Structures are given as C-alpha cells and as structure tokens.
Structure 1
C-alpha cells in the first residue's frame, strides 16, 4: 500500500478511544474525524490525539467524499442503522462486536456490503492478538491433531450492561476466537445455554454455553460479570496435544502440552473394549511478539480494502458468531434445551 486511507470513528465512549488511537497511529490510515452526539466527549478524545476534527452529525461524515471508511463503536442496537447508512454512502465499515443485535440485521449488512462491493469487517479484536494468530497456525499445521474439546472462561467483576446480557457482552470474544482458529470457522449444529440472574438485574449475569463440534468434540464457554477474580483462559484439547491460552499471563500466554489419553482398541469386533494409556510428554511455550491487537486489526482492514478481498474477520465471521448467540437466546427461552443454529449464508 503506497497511500493512506481516510477513516472516521463513530462513537467516543468506551471502545471508540481505543479504535481512534490505533487508527491515528497506523501508517495505513488518516484519522479524519471523531463523530459523537456528545461534543464535549468527542472533543476530549480528539484533543488527546493531537487535534482531530469533531463532528456531531453522522450525515456530515457520510457526505464527506474524502472519507473512505468508518469504524463503528456505538451500542449494539445502533450498529445496523449506522452501518447500513455508511455502506449506502459508499464507505467501507468495521464494526465492534457484536456485528449487530440480531442475525437478521447482520445478514442485511452483509448483503448490502456484497452488493456494493464494499468491505464489512467485524472487530473481533482477540483474533488479532499474537496468541490467537499462533494458535490458528498450530491448528492448521495439525500440531494439536483433531480438536476434541474447547473450554473457554471469561469471568471478572464487570460492568452490568444496560442493553445486553452477559452472553451478548462477553461471549462474542470466545465465539469469535473459536471461529478464527477452527478450520472452516465455528460450525455447530446447536447451542445449549444456561443463565442466572441472582442479582435481579433483569438479565443473565452468569452464563454457560455448550456446543457440539465435529468428530464428537464439544465446546464450552463460561461467562460471568460477578466473579471477584478475573480469568481469561482458553483450553483447546486435541488428539495429539493440548494448548492453554492464559491471556493474563504475559510471561507465558501460550502453553502446549504433549499430554493426553490414548485408547487402544482390543478387538476389531468389540469397539467398546479399549485399553486406556496416558501420554506424558514435554510442555513448551511458543515465543510471541508483543503487539497491540487493534493495530493489527487496523492494518488488516486497510489491506482488505486495497487488495479487494474479505477481511480475516469479515461480515460472515460476524454472522457465525451472531448465529451462536441467537441460538443461545433461543435455548435460554427453552430452559437450557439445545437450540438449532441457523446456517450462515456462504
């Protein structure tokens, strides 16, 4: 890429400042504007970045032909209308998680981008961490073997969101990681969800998701706003090796264990008879570069535009995550019974 692209960040609240800072420092982007209904909040952010133009009317951003793209960091319920308006104005779009607040609206966004030949990208931030990129490489290379299970835990004493439950707030991170590292993305037939609201907040504050994977494997996600301790951990168990990602351990974020269980069939006719043996091998930790994930995300957004290709976490990746979240919503309504996942369009 020989020239920079121009972008406006929509929303100067919780996540907008992180996006603005990374687009401001990116060699691929010129941060053209901060747009927020709260001018004082937008001006504070703009000043901290060296004096970025501030806009309070989205229409002004969309009417500016010099702006190539927008980054949306607003409440989930507003993602669809803002993204659709931006796409219709000819802007490429990156949207913070989740892509939309329903699968149907997410599909409309993907269709609109396809029809206009524009890039629609989901800001699945964790997918751009050095750890997630390394895990994807290890899985693709067959270092873990067949994936038997994924166990993901994301708990902390967190902010109870006013518009979404703990599933829609935290689980998109875990689901997007699974979608990113699994060959072919997150392909599951159903989701079983159990949630609890012990505070009487009117929404689930603690949640558990279970999903079947290929080859008889299973994925499990635990999310919690009420835990006094903070844990961000993903365990991926394979037929050859098991990997542990501890995101809060900067000295050893990834550990690969050459340990597991082997079953030796005793009889070709009696498949229920097997000898169990335990494999106890070495443990090693891959070296990882220290790099901010959002910086890599910004570079990928620019590359997908200039190269005319889908982003690694494109709108369809966002749809796969939305499909799992909507199935979780359906399962909660059926007291935790498995709820079928609607297949995403190709």
Structure 2
C-alpha cells in the first residue's frame, strides 16, 4: 500500500493550519480538502499550503468514498459527534487533544472505532518529538533504572481559555508524555489536584497534580497560565540516573545525570541505622544527540502506518482515554479540596460491555 492516502482537515482555527501543512508535505498523504464552517478561514489555510479544495459541509466530506481519513482540529466539546459520524462513515480519524470533553464520550468513541475496525488516533504531538522518543528509549532500555519520581513544569503567561481550565488546557501534554514513556503507561489509581483562580475568572488558572505511581514512585505536574516566564521542563529520576528535559533549550534539550542516592540493603536488625548506609553518587553528565525535525511530521507518518498495518497508533484512542480519566479524577479531587480521587480504570472488557 504505497499509494497516498487521502485526508481532510476539519477545523481551520489554531491547530488546523499546522495539520494541513504537515499532511501536505507528507509522502504518505494527499491533502484532499480543508473543512470549516467559516469558508473564508478555510480558504486562507488552503492558500497557505499551496491551494486545496475547501468546503463548509462535513457531510459532503464524509460521503466522499475517496476520503480515507479526517483530522479533527475543532474544540474539544465537538470531538464526540464529529468522530462518531466519521467512524460511521468508514473514515479513520485523528483528533487533537484532549480526545473528548468527558471520559464517557471518549469510551464511546474508542468502542465505535473498535467495532468498525478503524484507527482512532489521539494527536499527542509531544510524543513524536525527538526528545520524548529518546526519553522513551532510555527508560525502556533501563538507562535510568527503576523510576523514583517525575516532576513536570509547564507554565507561561498564556491565554485563559473560555471553556476549559488550566488542567484541561495544559496538563494533557504532560499526561500524554507520561503515558508514552513510562513502562505500563499512565497506570495510576488516584490523583490529587489543587487549583487556584486568583483572578476570579471562574476556572483554575494555576494547578498542581500529584499522582502516586507504581512501586512507591510519585509524579507531580505543575501547570500555570499566569507565569511571566515560560518553562517547559520535566525531571525523571531513577535508581541509576536522572534525566532532565528542557524543551526550551535547543542546544541541550536532554541531560542525563549519573548522580543520586544509593541505599544499602538492610536487615530488620539494622533498620534503625539507615542514615549510616546512605551514599551519594556523583558521576558524569551527558547530553544525547537529537535530530531536529517537526513532531507533527512524525504524527502524520504514524497515522498512515497504523492504517496500512491495521494496528493501533502509538498514541491511540486508548491513550487519549487514559489522559481523560486522570483529568476527570483531577476535577473530582478539586471538589473535595484536593483530597485524592480515584482514577477510573480502562480495559477492553469495559468498552466491550
């Protein structure tokens, strides 16, 4: 199946032009059209990629047998009806984050794709950056050892969204990365969330998520719309090494530190002398070489490969659902003043019920 696949981008707002540009440049895809209710906006995007047809009719797009897939870049509240219509029309679908505006809707979307035998992919773009792909590789090969903690910061002076809080706007990036790089994915049972609305906007503008991981590890995510400085950083500490990802430092996005604390194993008789068995390891620091390429190009390539190979995408609908599960638990935690709230599990049995 070397023939190009035909895709239509639905939504010509903030993210649609980026999708259109990358599908147009991809050797796997033919950008068949831009679809948006605002036909003039769709035309501007089409002109920006060298000219493609435009339409305001989603029904027209879905009725076209030549269209293999659609890429949805519309507000989260619209994802559910558009995705279901596309899947029922036999189209493969990629949808920008978050997968849906509720977990219940996400479950229905994943189930419908499974029933139809179609690819439903979540556009977790950061998972296709060279840095995150390298992080996944280093963790998988055991370079960091067992994971002890994750500390992630995503803050900036950002646009306060009209329909979602800072958790739903920014945290999906960090949660999708954790789901992508951690062994077993985003497998958490509870989440505690503290949010603040100091400007009285009606929604949290500053937020903190805390999630216990397996084997006693802990993940912490800080998101903020009100910071005058922009920081995109994640620290992943392991028993062997600690990794720091600074996404705003193109000269050294990744740094791996051979530094840490070693605890000698102890018997019950010597447990009260733990302090005397601590040693500090101060080794080398190194920075892996990373290629420079646009992550969305990798997204387009993976979407085509999943369709041609008849397999789930690396950032599948299920991964989007795991992120939704944590976001909903975070919302529940805020209603009980930051106490831990359970994260709904997800399994094939659930969506097949």
User: d(CA) in 2 for partners of 1:193 and 1:284?
Assistant: 34
Could you tell me how far 1:263 is from its partner in structure 2?
Answer: 1.1
Instruction: List aligned pairs for 1:237-252, cutoff 5 A.
Output: 237-252=237-252
Contact 1:12 1:34 in 2 (8 A): yes
- 1:339 corresponds, among 313, 338, 341, to 341
SS of the aligned residue for 2:264 comes to strand
User: d(CA) in 2 for partners of 1:142 and 1:265?
Assistant: 21
Corresponding residue of 1:315:
317
SS of the aligned residue for 2:324 comes to helix
Corresponding residue of 1:86:
86
User: d(CA) in 2 for partners of 1:99 and 1:114?
Assistant: 15
User: d(CA) in 2 for partners of 1:126 and 1:11?
Assistant: 20
Q: Provide, for residues 181-230 of structure 1, a one-character-per-residue CA deviation record: whole Å limited to 9, x for no partner.
A: 00111101100000000111100000000000011000000000000000
Could you tell me how far 1:272 is from its partner in structure 2?
Answer: 4.5
Instruction: List aligned pairs for 1:106-145, cutoff 5 A.
Output: 106-145=106-145
Instruction: List aligned pairs for 1:260-275, cutoff 5 A.
Output: 260-274=260-274, 275=277
Deviating beyond 4 angstroms after TM superposition, the runs of 4 or more aligned structure 1 residues are: none
Q: Provide, for residues 69-119 of structure 1, a one-character-per-residue CA deviation record: whole Å limited to 9, x for no partner.
A: 000000000011100000000000000000000111000000000000000
Corresponding residue of 2:194:
194
Corresponding residue of 2:16:
16
Could you tell me how far 1:57 is from its partner in structure 2?
Answer: 1.2
Corresponding residue of 2:220:
220
Contact 1:94 1:301 in 2 (8 A): yes
Are residues 1:285 and 2:254 paired?
A: no
SS of the aligned residue for 1:204 comes to coil
Could you tell me how far 1:33 is from its partner in structure 2?
Answer: 0.6
User: d(CA) in 1 for partners of 2:45 and 2:225?
Assistant: 28
- More off after superposition, 260-269 vs 107-116: 260-269
User: d(CA) in 1 for partners of 2:273 and 2:60?
Assistant: 70
Could you tell me how far 1:268 is from its partner in structure 2?
Answer: 4.2
Q: Provide, for residues 141-176 of structure 1, a one-character-per-residue CA deviation record: whole Å limited to 9, x for no partner.
A: 000000000000000000001110000000000000
Contact 1:265 1:273 in 2 (8 A): no
Corresponding residue of 1:259:
259
Could you tell me the TM-score, scaled by structure 2's length?
0.97
Contact 1:147 1:238 in 2 (8 A): yes
User: d(CA) in 2 for partners of 1:266 and 1:68?
Assistant: 60
Provide the alpha-carbon RMSD of the alignment.
Answer: 0.8
User: d(CA) in 1 for partners of 2:125 and 2:243?
Assistant: 20
Could you tell me the TM-score, scaled by structure 1's length?
0.99
Contact 1:191 1:340 in 2 (8 A): yes
User: d(CA) in 1 for partners of 2:265 and 2:137?
Assistant: 31
Contact 1:267 1:273 in 2 (8 A): no
SS of the aligned residue for 2:271 comes to coil
